[in-house]
Chains A and B, each alone.
Chain A
Amino acid sequence: MIELKHISKWVTIGGKPNFILKDVNATVNEGEFLSIMGPSGSGKSTLLNVIGMLDEFNEGEYRFFHEEVHKMKEKQRSNLYKQYIGFVFQAYHLIDELTVYENIETPLIYQDVKSSERKAMVADILDRFNIVGKKDLFPTQLSGGQQQLVGIARALIARPKLILADEPTGNLNSKQGEEIMNLFKQLNDEGVTIIQVTHSEKNAAYGKRIIHLLDGRIEREE
């Protein structure tokens, strides 16, 4: 499904190219559960953003379902986000003007899901994440962990086929983290492809494959 060939990305600082990603080659098939690890600043988030087609790269080839990503139109990408991909951000990125309920509901609105159906789906996931009581609060009224949960709930609500998660459990306690990981595992078993960035060996172990990054290069795979 995902084919990265010789992907490089750099920024020019003082006339010298400064590599963020260097010659990254990777293939991810449907139904995989991939973990990306590496020290801070090694380019994990950047790589995930490239995979998520949010960020551009300077060199190399990236095919998503055999289609060259850099040739895609904005509309195509937008449709992929709508129907295919769910994002969990390291920095949550909830919409401040919307309540918990409305934040989770947003992807469904863009998919033109009927209002009654939306209600049922959101209620269901609120229940699953144990945040029913918070549904009318605004993001600023939540703790970091709670915001992260909402971010995950929002990514999962539309039942995406590909989940891209940047440290999804970074702000959760170990029990919550474990629950999320189990949820991911369960989704993966149902056929959802998952790519996650994590610092935790334990969480990484949920993945079927782990890529280690160092200074923008794939150091090793296991």
Chain B
Amino acid sequence: MFLHYLKVAFRNIRKQKMYAAINVGGFAIGIAACLLIALFIQHETSYDSANPNRHHIFRLVGEAKQNGQVHSGIAFPAPMSKAILNDFPEVEKAGRIMSNSLFGAANNQVRRPDQQNNTYEQGFAFADTSTLEILDIKMIYGSRTEALKQPFSVILNKSMADKYFPNQNPVGQRLIFNDNPRLPIIVGGVMEDFPTNSHLQYRGFISLAGVSFWDNEQSQWTASNYDIYLQLKPNTNIASFEKKMTDDVVDKYMVPAMVAGGQKNAKESFKDTRIYLQPLSDIHLYSYNIEQDDTRHGDIRFVYLFAAIAAFILLLACINFLNLSTARSANRAKEVGVRKVMGGSRNNLINQFLSESLLYSFLSFLTGTAIAVLALPLFNKVSGLYLSMPWKEWWLIPALIGGALVIGLLAGIYPAFYLSYFKPINTLKGNLSLGSKNGRLRSSLVVFQFSISVVLLIGTAVIYKQMQYILNSKIGFDKDQVLMIEGADALKEQTTSFKNEVLNLPVVKNVSVSDFLPVNDTKRNGNTFWEEGKQQDDGFALQHWVVDENYIPTLGMKLIAGRNFSKDFHTDSSTAVVNKALADKLGIKDPIGKIITNGGEHLRIIGVVDNFYFESMKQQVTPLCMVLGNSNSIVSIKIKGADMKTALATIEAKWKAFLPNQPMRYTFLDERYAAMYIDVQRMQYIFTGFSILAVVVACLGLFALAAFMAEQRTKEIGIRKVLGASVAGVFTLLTKNFLKLVGLSLIISIPVGWWLMNQWLQDFSYRISLNWKIFAFASLLMMTIALFTICFQAIKAAIANPVKSLRTE
């Protein structure tokens, strides 16, 4: 019986190639989208799932309220992990990671003692031995408990170990970090590379044993630089532990430390502070609102969003199938009647039609899987992931087959019931006004399809606009034509002469030496300052940047009051140029000449620059002050003219003359700036891709429906034309209703799109406003595409020779 059904289904597909192609094509697109997104979701939700103790492992997150806003962070004081371990029996293990680049974590110039050239290596962090155990680090050489015991020992990951010590056990070997031969680093062990689905991606761990980044650093409670991981005993009550721990840490350690430092109402300032435990498996997807967490995380909201989009595209394809099946039911009606009279029961017929939709679904899954495999590299490129089809997993094939069954049944169930319901007498007499019967359902579904498509189009337009705004708006500095040379600290005493020689090059406009730049992965230094004469309690957080006197002109920042640093003033060593946000914070009309202090340093404000974005536009610009000083690992060079290639060559030649052994490592400021918004950019690409898919699927359906309507009305059109209807008249007749539907979907989708995208924009402190142009654009685009889609069929029908169409009757 089933074979019989399949045979009929195949014959129908062959007979109606266009409709079959549209059904399979639409489904395949939907399935490919779903597959890719399923891979994405599977990857995103698999983070840190390999750790056998993952249910008992937590990362500490601190949360504090400031001016009604909740800020959260993961950096804590050095002695805190030990204090918690000692104070609470629930804690089985506690370990720290220190990744602040100010103190030699993150990036290092590395070479073997026998090598001349340094290699710039990223991904270092300081760690405790207990951290290795909590994170279940797998060792290849050396032992996990011994590898970091010695001060200045390091664990390299496999790829880095292979790079410096190929084909050997490097334990006990030495490495020189940052050209400091007096302080060789000893390899204590080699660990496996972190899997791609680990929230940490470090390539090397440096021992924290015996480390003190400054005097008494390890016992100081007022500086926060350490991420803390805890492994708790099973059956610990998390909520009550969090409360106990917060109280303990604040009352017993933090407040006394601050009181000792001179702050009076220390207790008060911790009123809204809460330290909570973030489960290991939540770190990847639920850290999007944690500031100062440098590791790149996923975002559960994206996971939901993409899942929804994929489901919608698949739904659109199902709607196509449903609409085409019911619209074309007249073609099947006679068959239904005959089969019933031949003894076929309703169940037989339902089964037959379901088999048919299953066949479509399986064909679509084959095609869709093929499309997904072909599109995977592109998807990876756009999403910045390394996904692959899990062919080796046992569940893949059953999952695909299961998916095909579900989709086939889902799309086929309504048409099957609808078609099998026909009474034989009506279908056999051929007087069934089929097709028009559930025209209302079909119309609503078309409206639904186009509403979804328009919402996606609006989303795409808004994201594009915001991205353009980010890239092109006044950001307070001039990011174009600025070359950033990194690793310049290798120049050591020669820094100034390098700077001066480059400055004399004809292609160069200006040169500045500073590690603090308004892009990611450059130095930051938070500090608390207050206006001299006021109380420490009135202090506010600011960024304290060390720059040189060329900094402001090189980066094209705008002075709105006072002056820049100058060599002519010898006193400039204790002066500061501040940004407008800081001036506003002080709340004085003329801040020039005012002095700010953090207790140790006293800075006289000599100038104010307009605000420039140095963090993501998602955040407000915060107070910042710049002071003259030495911070020499990045040289920024503003190029004159447009010939970047020549400029680069000349500068590189100069670099070679100074440092023949270290290749020049450089990036461009504008690219670094764009990289800060890579997630927005990705979102834009992915949104664009998916909205194109949705529009294609919806239009495929519209195309087929238009073809069907035109086909059904061939005779009517023929008669109308014989009676004198013009081509334009017939064209209008055929397109009017469809355009009405698309129009209706615009009315529905514009408010929805407006609301959704307005929500999205709330994430940005600096954002575009939603104006009518975006919606007009999306509407016009959708109308045009829809019109083109139906045009083809309508014109074909309108210009057809009426005599021909009538004769075939």
Contact = CB atoms under 8 A, between A and B. Distances in A.
B337 interface: yes
Contacts of A81: 340-343
Contact of B346 (A74, A96, A109, A154): A74
Given A54-B424, A54-B428, A93-B428, A98 B8 contact: yes
Contacts of A190: none
A94 B425 CA distance: 15
A110 interface: yes
Contacts of A109: 1, 4
A58 to B, nearest CB: 14
A10 to B, nearest CB: 16
A158 interface: yes
A49 B428 CA distance: 11
Nearest to A92: B338
Interface in B1-20: 1, 4, 7-8, 11-12, 15
Contacts of A89: 428
B12 to A, nearest CB: 6
Give the interface size bracket for B toward A: 20 to 34
Given A49-B425, A54-B428, A89-B428, A97 B15 contact: yes
A107 interface: yes
A9 B346 CA distance: 26
A106 B339 contact: yes
A95 interface: yes
Contacts of B339: 95, 106, 110
B345 A78 contact: yes
B8 to A, nearest CB: 5
A54 B11 CA distance: 28
B344 A110 contact: yes
Contacts of A94: 338
A87 interface: yes
A63 interface: no
A93 B11 contact: no
B425 A158 contact: no
A18 interface: no
A158 B428 contact: no
A78 B335 contact: no
Nearest to A98: B8
B342 to A, nearest CB: 5
A154 to B, nearest CB: 7
B425 A55 contact: yes
Nearest to A154: B342
A87 B339 CA distance: 11
Nearest to A74: B346
Contacts of A102: 4, 7
Contacts of B12: 97
A112 B343 CA distance: 11
Interface string A42-82: 00000001001011100000000000000000110011011
Nearest to A91: B428
A112 B1 CA distance: 8
B348 interface: yes
Interface in B323-358: 334-335, 337-346, 348
Nearest to B12: A97
A97 B345 contact: no
A83 interface: yes
A117 B202 CA distance: 72
Contacts of A107: 342-343
A98 B15 CA distance: 12
Contacts of A78: 340, 343-346
A56 B344 CA distance: 20
Interface of B: 1, 4, 7-8, 11-12, 15, 334-335, 337-346, 348, 423-425, 428
Given A107-B343, A109-B1, 12 more contacts: A54-B424, A78-B343, A79-B343, A87-B341, A87-B342, A93-B341, A95-B335, A96-B335, A97-B15, A106-B342, A110-B339, A158-B343
29 contacts: A52-B341, A54-B423, A74-B346, A78-B340, A78-B343, A78-B344, A78-B345, A79-B343, A81-B342, A82-B344, A87-B341, A93-B337, A93-B341, A94-B338, A95-B335, A95-B339, A97-B8, A97-B11, A97-B335, A98-B8, A102-B4, A102-B7, A106-B339, A106-B342, A109-B4, A110-B339, A110-B343, A110-B344, A112-B1
- Smallest CB-CB A-B distances: 5 pairs: A82-B343, A110-B343, A97-B11, A78-B345, A54-B425
